[in-house]
Amino acid sequence: MPRFFYPLLALSQLLAVILLVLTGYWTGHLLGGFAWDGSEQQFNLHPLLMILGLVFLHGDAILMFRIFRKENKTVVKVIHLVMHVATLICIVIALKATFSYHRHAGYANLYSAHSWIGLLTVLLFFMQWVGGFVSYFLPWLNSDKRAELLPFHRFFGIAIFTMACTTSLIGLNEKLFVNY
């Protein structure tokens, strides 16, 4: 393992926590907080939960196999799975908040590049989650098939993470520049 791995890992975690704190401050304080009543405060859950889920938790879930490379694989798989279940919960709540807010405010759904790229990202995440669960967590495939699928699983995990980061940036720009 490269000698700069752990310092870069620590830096990435610090930056991720700063991102979450700033997003929480922005949505929780500057944009008026959170609610579940169809108001703009309900929509504020969307950016916070999507960044928490698809950027922070999904990104950390990817890193688990590097951080704990010498630990029991089954334990690391369970950690990986739990982090992705938490990501899925964040996604579902964030999407419900958005669609419910749009319906209540009379806005159209899926009207921007952010929403379509985001929908594709979420669909790919869900397909990756189901495929990973069936292939690696349940003992349905033999070890040769799992090894054959692993490069694809890794590639799509990183691609989905990249799409999530890109979609987040597009969404933040849309919120900052289009809605104000």
Diameter of the chain measured on Cα atoms? 54
Q: What is the pLDDT of residue 180?
A: 54
Question: Where residue 159 sits, what CATH number does that domain have?
Answer: 1.20.120.1770
Over 90: is that where the pLDDT of 137 sits? no
Give the tens place of pLDDT for each residue, 98-123.
999 999 999 999 999 999 999 999 99
For residue 65, what are its two tokens? 């196999």
Q: Which range of residues forms the domain containing residue 51?
A: 4-177
pLDDT digits (tens, 9 = 90+) for 48-66: 999 999 999 999 999 999 9
Q: Compute the distance between CA of residue 31 and CA of residue 43 in angstroms, rounded to an integer.
A: 10
Q: Is 49 exposed, middle or buried (0-12, 13-18, 19+ CB in 10 A)?
A: buried
pLDDT digits (tens, 9 = 90+) for 120-133: 999 999 999 999 99
Domain count, the chain: 1
Reported pTM? 0.93
Residues 6 or more apart in contact with residue 30 via CB below 8 angstroms: none
Model pLDDT, residue 53: 98
